[in-house]
Amino acid sequence: MTAIDTSIGPDRARELFRAELADVRTDAELQALRTRWVGRKGSWVAAFMEALATATPEQKKTFGRGANELKKEVEATIAEREAALAAARRPAHAVDITLPGRTPALGHRHPLSLIRDEVGAIFTRLGYQVLEGPEIEDDYHNFEALNMPEEHPARDMQDTLYLATPTFASADASVGRPRGKAPWPPQPLTLLRTHTSAMQIRHMEQNAPPVRLVAIGPVYRKDNLDLTHTPMFHQVEGLVVGKGVTLADLKGTLAAMAEALFGAGTGVRFRPSFFPYTEPSAEVDIQCIKCKGAGCAMCKRTGWIEILGSGMVHPAVFEAVGYDPNEITGFAFGMGVERVALLKWGVEDIRLFYENDLRFLEQFGL
């Protein structure tokens, strides 16, 4: 800022004013500039007017015009800048959109959902349909059609949760009368399904072979809650029916699934077993994912871990749904979703999946 000295002339003074204006950033600075240049007393313009009073007539001519132009320019440009500052000013209580935002807390997907989706994706790639089914079932679809007639000793293998009040399925006009031996009109729904196998029956009753499906969903048993049991858990049930389906197809399918779920090179072995709805039946073990078969605490030093039950579909099941067992064959398998999750992540207590403890759930992906 230069001291007021009118001897420099109005043109030079105008350059000084422009330089000072260029540095103005705030309203206060602009007001100070206005006082200094066009204020009533002690301003540049006032000083020029005073100097004019004592000037010669010749000086008045040029000096006077220059001083007037200076005054006009100062007033006009200050008004302009004032308007620009006002336009840029933030209104009172405005939101400052340049502040960094708060990151919204994103949830994590439940580990059982991750397994369910992964298994669904594996079988979708293999050309399977992924289905869900009713969780409340009738006796026929949960037991009888699966070769477990009343009084069949195999019914004791599963402790069933029965409804206090039986209910009826809502009428679905798009689903016609089922094929095969299904009772008509439909039986009342009396129980919570003990396995997803009931869904196999419902699908086969409505569809001719070939069949290639996985049913995934919750099932219920009268189990007490402990480290490895819950009254509700999830099953993946697979069913393939067609001409010439063999045990070799079952083994190849489960070997592919084991590798997809637990990593390349995961071996499987079949042990003879018994299920009413398959013949022959087999329990399937995978090579221990921790010790790779060498023997450790997790596999009880055997190198193998039981993962699912499977077998070739029993002819009585085909007869129940109106398929001709002389024409077609099929295989089925059922696997616990929780069991896979326990093994895959080394979780030791199944209850963690149901306690909604964020410290546990946040360890899994999105």
Which residues would be at the binding site for Zn ion (CB under 5 A)?
Answer: 288, 290-291, 296, 298-299
Q: Name which of 283 and 319 has its Cβ closer to Zn ion.
A: 283
Q: Which two tokens stand for residue 207?
A: 């569809």
- Residue 167 DSSP one-character state: E
Smallest separation (angstroms) from Zn ion to the CB of 147: 35
Residue whose structure tokens are 């540095």? 23
Give how far the C-alpha of residue 294 lies from the chain's centroid of Cα atoms, to the nearest Å: 37
> Could you tell me the two tokens for 292?
């790779």
Of 91 and 346, nearer to Zn ion (C-beta) is 346
Least distance between Zn ion and beta carbon 299 (Å):
3
Query: Of 303 and 315, which CB lies nearer to Zn ion in the complex structure?
Result: 303
CB of 303 to Zn ion, least distance (A): 6
Under a CB-based contact definition with an 8 Å cutoff, are residues 338 and 353 in contact? yes
Asked if 250 and 331 count as a contact pair (C-beta separation under 8 A), the reply is: yes
Helix (H, G, I), strand (E, B) or coil at 212: strand
Query: Least CB distance from residue 151 to Zn ion, whole Å?
Result: 41
Looking at beta carbons only, is 145 or 288 nearer to Zn ion?
288
The answer to whether 161 touches 224, Cβ cutoff 8 Å, is no
CB 50 within 8 A of CB 38: no
Choice between 106 and 297, CB closer to Zn ion: 297
Please report, as a single letter, which amino acid is at residue 122: I
Decide whether 134 or 295 has the Cβ nearer to Zn ion. 295
Cis peptide upstream of residue 91 (ω within 30 degrees of 0)? no
> In the bound complex, what is the minimum distance in angstroms from residue 344's beta carbon to Zn ion?
14
Give the DSSP letter of residue 186: P
Yes or no: say if 45 and 37 are a contact pair by the CB < 8 Å rule: yes
* Neighbouring C-alpha atoms within 13 Å toward the C-beta of 338: 18
Shortest separation between residue 288's beta carbon and Zn ion, angstroms: 3
Nearer residue to Zn ion within complex by CB, 60 or 290 = 290
DSSP string, 293-349: TS--TTTTTSSEEEEEEEEEEPHHHHHHTT--TTT-EEEEEEEEHHHHHHHHHT---
Shortest distance, position 305 Cβ to Zn ion, whole Å: 7
Q: How far is the CB of 291 from Zn ion (least distance, A)?
A: 3
21: CB partners within 8 A, 6+ apart: 33, 77, 78, 81
Of 213 and 268, the one with the shorter C-beta distance to Zn ion is: 268
